[in-house]
Amino acid sequence: MDELKGIIRDIPDFPKKGIIFKDITTLLADGKSFHRMIDLIAHRYIGQNIHQVVGIEARGFILGSALAYKLGTGITLVRKAGKLPFRTRRKTYDLEYGTDTLEIHEDAFQAGDKVIVADDLLATGGTMAAVVDLVQELGADIVECAFLAELEFLSGRQRLPDGKVFSLLKF
Ligand code: AMP
């Protein structure tokens, strides 16, 4: 794990002063590390009869689609407002400054579908909490929220369903 953590690059003061941005592009670009990351995460869910992986725009699509491929499921996209073409359900949530809106197609799931929701990084948990609401409102059953990395000092997991959060790398 330390090897994978070491490949993620810290970018100070991006996108604004005071934030240390975890740049995962270095890990994604390294074939061996990318493979290892997906195998380690997918391993948790093999044999659990997962119906669908949900990926959050944009880096969650990368993790989510590789996971879905490995698990033999499809991937459902959660996108920024105005990008999905069919009827959607939407959720607006607070950011540090202002708000953001995410959408999902309203026919994404069958009732009781077992899903994994994937994103690259858990920070304050606001993004994933909004997606958890959307997925549950549409009748799916969240098996776990899966992240490549978690910033533990921000306690984001407290905003997410108890015992249903997994992160491969903790910072
Ligand atoms: P949050 O809603 O605070 O949990 O933020 C999660 C989203 O913001 C994730 O999709 C991350 O890609 C991105 N993000 C937040 N903070 C960071 C950070 N320090 N480094 C990299 N990505 C971040």
**How many CB atoms are located within 10 Å of the residue 107 CB?**
11
- Given 59, 89, 90, 159, which residue is catalytic? 59
Q: Per-residue confidence at 36, pLDDT binned at 50, 70, 90?
A: very high
Is the shortest distance between the CB of 127 and ligand 1 below 6 Å? yes
| pTM: predicted TM-score of the whole model, two decimal places | 0.97
> Tens digit of pLDDT for each residue in 38-61?
999 999 999 999 999 999 999 999
- Going by CA atoms, what residue is nearest to atom 12 of ligand 1? 121
Query: Nearest Cα to 8, choosing from 149, 152, 167, 118?
Result: 149
pLDDT tens digits for range 100-132:
999 999 999 999 999 999 999 999 999 999 999
The per-residue pLDDT of the chain, averaged, comes to: 97
Listing DSSP states for 102-115 in one string gives EEEETTS--TT-EE
CA of 55 relative to ligand 1 center, distance in Å: 14
Give the Cα separation of 73 and 67 in Å (integer): 8
DSSP state of 169: E
What's the pLDDT tens digit per position in 84-95? 999 999 999 988
pLDDT of residue 97: 75
The finding on whether 167 has its CB within 6 A of some atom of ligand 1 is no
Q: For the chain, which domains are there?
A: 49-170 (3.40.50.2020)
- pLDDT at residue 33 tops 90: yes
Q: Collapsing DSSP states into helix, strand and coil, what is residue 166?
A: strand
What pLDDT is recorded for position 140? 98
| Continuous segment of H or E residues that includes residue 3 | helix 2-7
